[in-house]
Structure 1
Amino acid sequence: MIQIAIFSDVHGNLPALEAVLEDIERRGIQQKFCLGDLVDFAPWGNEVIEKIKDLNIPCLMGNHDERIAFDIPVVPLSKHSQEETDARFIAIDHSKKNITEENKKFLSELPFHLKLNYKIGKKHWNIQLVHSSLSSNDTYLYEAENDDIFVNMLQESQSDTIVMGHTHLSFKKSFEHKKWAINCGSVGRSKEENRLASYLILTMNEHQILPEIVQIDYPLEQTVHGIEESGIPNYYASFLKNEKVSII
């Protein structure tokens, strides 16, 4: 049996990341992978990057990582309210000004995809890791999508399981021939009702892959206080507290 942990979308929320890493450590899982979006919306972007670097956790380039690394202009999104649009511009500008040049370089060199192969007995399992999809790190794929979308991704990547993040909403979808499409949710900015930090454990044996979405508490008030004491709009503190804000 082999177990690996996969997480995504930390978004500068160091207290949430530390809680997830402690939970993974408590379970004795050695192999960890991150699907990207280390920065924006909470004030510990540099500390999160340093933690990933210090622990040598393989990490993909999320869309927010790419924007900060290459100073890509922020474009308003039609799905966002004016309130969120204004807050988003300020929060991303905060990252652009505060992430160190060394850490921007680190973000700029992150891989776009990662393919894992595990051999257990006579069986090879292929695990495809993406931030959001095979062709983009900014595509929103939800559980309600037509199954053909995920089946095609599995076929294109020649994988048994594809794991993604980006939407901040976890799900597990099983298909024929023991295949899975999974969203591991978000560590630092969950859009689920409970706002808990979310990550994925994959347990593999010679016969099957068993996915488990783990959701845990973290010191939320510490994150809220950190946002309120930073130059990041309090909008994001209210969101984490699940107060009524205009957000999609």
Structure 2
Amino acid sequence: MIKQEIAIISDIHGNSLALKKVLEDINNRGIKTIINLGDSLYGPLDPKGTFELLQKHNVISISGNQDRFIRENLSEKTDFITLEYVKSQIDDKVIEWLNSLPFDTIYDDKIYCCHASPQNDSIYLLESLEKDYVAIKDKNEIDALLTHVKQSIVICGHSHVSKIVETDNKLIVNSGSVGLPAYDDDLPIYHKMENYNPYANYAILSFYDNSIKVDKIAIKYDSESAAKLAELNNRDDWATWIRTGIV
């Protein structure tokens, strides 16, 4: 018998179309608790609409590196066209919410929640960046990053690729990305993250009397409309990532 169910979402990146479908699916399953692991609004899409959906559904949210990026650049004009677009779309209520987001949180004394890793919102917890590929870190290396985390369950995002990893000490769940199924980055070295499909991803944690189940969920939505919005806002690269899940 299920004692508790929790939906885990992350990396929405302003994709309200994807988020709406994910929230509908969560609601249809009767799940009441939703935890959002950050990078909620940044992107050439619909930051204000995304915020409103999160508020409407009483989603528990923490900050991601891109949420921090918005906060740190509110007062000065930058050369980042997507950042300036996001800033033009959000109001004081959204800014107040962004400023209120914690770096991490603990849910129900048993789940540690962070965007990337406990040390840094930009350092992958599970992934190791090699010269020509992305690998999974050694389990001892993962446990070392979680030394000060007392909880046996850890949930994270940031890489946009869903994973379930069990070490000697922890169960770690990366829920993947709701709104952006692929991207590339130059830091700390050039790398690509790809899902090879355009679906919106999230995860469900189910607690039974003596066990835990993790479900990785992929939801089809109107990704073409989201891609066209990215194009309208001068991000053809985002449009490709949203359409295909490939860089």
* Shorter-chain TM-score range: 0.7 to 0.9
For residues 243 and 213 of structure 1, the distance between their equivalents in structure 2, rounded to whole angstroms, comes to 17
1:84-103 mapped onto 2 (5 Å cutoff): 89-103=80-94
Once residues 65 and 72 of structure 1 are traced to their aligned partners in structure 2, the CA distance between those partners, rounded to angstroms, is 11
| From 203, 220, 225, the counterpart of 1:222 | 225
**Offset at residue 153 of structure 1 (A):** 4.1
User: Hey, what's the Cα distance between the residues in 2 that align with 1:216 and 1:136?
Assistant: 29
Structure 2 spans left out of the alignment, 5+ residues: 128-134, 183-194
Q: Which residue of 1 aligns with 2:141?
A: 149
Aligned partner of 2:100 in structure 1 is: 109
1:192-239 deviations in whole A, cap 9, x for unaligned? 11131111100112322211111111111121222233x242221122
Output aligned runs, 1:113-128, within 5 Å. Answer: 113-117=104-108, 126-128=110-112
- 1:134 paired residue among 100, 118, 122: 118
2:218 and 2:181 map into 1 onto residues whose CA distance is 10
How far apart, CA to CA, are the structure 2 residues paired with 1:202 and 1:5?
6
SS of the residue aligned with 1:240? Answer: helix
Structure 2 length as normaliser, TM-score? 0.83
Aligned pairs for 1:9-24 within 5 A: 9-24=11-26
Residue of structure 2 equivalent to 1:81 = none
Post-superposition offset of 1:243: 8.0
TM-score, structure 1 as length reference: 0.83
Percent of aligned pairs sharing the same letter: 28
Q: Does 1:205 align with 2:197?
A: no
**In structure 2, how many angstroms separate the alpha carbons of the residues matched to 1:176 and 1:243?**
32
Runs of at least 4 residues off by over 6 Å: none
Match in the other structure for 1:121: none
2:138, 2:87 → 1: CA distance?
Answer: 37
Equivalent position of 2:48 in the other structure? 46
1:138, 1:52 → 2: CA distance? 23
TM-superposition CA deviations, 1:71-118 (whole Å, max 9, x none): 1799xxxxxxxxxxx9xx322221123222321121011111111226
Q: 1:67, CA displacement in angstroms?
A: 1.2
Q: Is this contact kept in 1: 2:44–2:86, CA < 8 A?
A: no
Partner residue, 2:151: 159
8 A Cα contact 2:197 2:245, kept in partner: no
The alpha carbon displacement at 1:140 in A equals 2.2
Deviations 1:140-189 (A, max 9, x none): 23261111132234442111111100111111012346x31111100000
> Which structure dedicates a bigger proportion of its chain to strand?
2
In the other structure, the counterpart of 2:185 is: none
User: Are the counterparts in 2 of residues 161 and 180 from structure 1 also a CA contact under 8 Å?
Assistant: yes
Aligned partner letter, 2:243: K
Note closer, same or farther for the CA distance 1:72–1:146 as it changes in structure 2 (3 Å cut). Answer: farther
